[in-house]
A and B are shown apart, each in its own frame.
Chain A
Amino acid sequence: MSPDVKAMTTELIRDAGSLVFLQLGEALRMEGQIEAAKKVARTGMERHPELPEAHDLYARILVSGKEPDRASQIWHELLQSNPRHVGAHKGLGFLSYSHGNLDVSRDHLELALAADPTNQSVIQALRAVRNAAEAVTEEYPSPAQPVPAELPATPSTATGETTSLFAAFGSGDHGILLVDVHGRTLAGGLKTPGGADGSSETAAHLAGVSQEMERTARMLKIGEWRWLVVEATDGNVHLTQPAEDTLLFIVRDRDVPAGRLGLLAESAGAKARAWLDGQRA
Chain B
Amino acid sequence: MPINYYIFLSIALFVIGIIGVLTRRNAIIIFMCIELMLNAVNLMLVAFSKMHHLANVAKDASAGIDGQLFVFFIMVVAAAEVSVGLAIIVMMYRNIHSVDVNFLNRLKH
The judgment on whether A and B are partners is: no
Spell out B's residues near A (CB within 8 Å). Answer: none
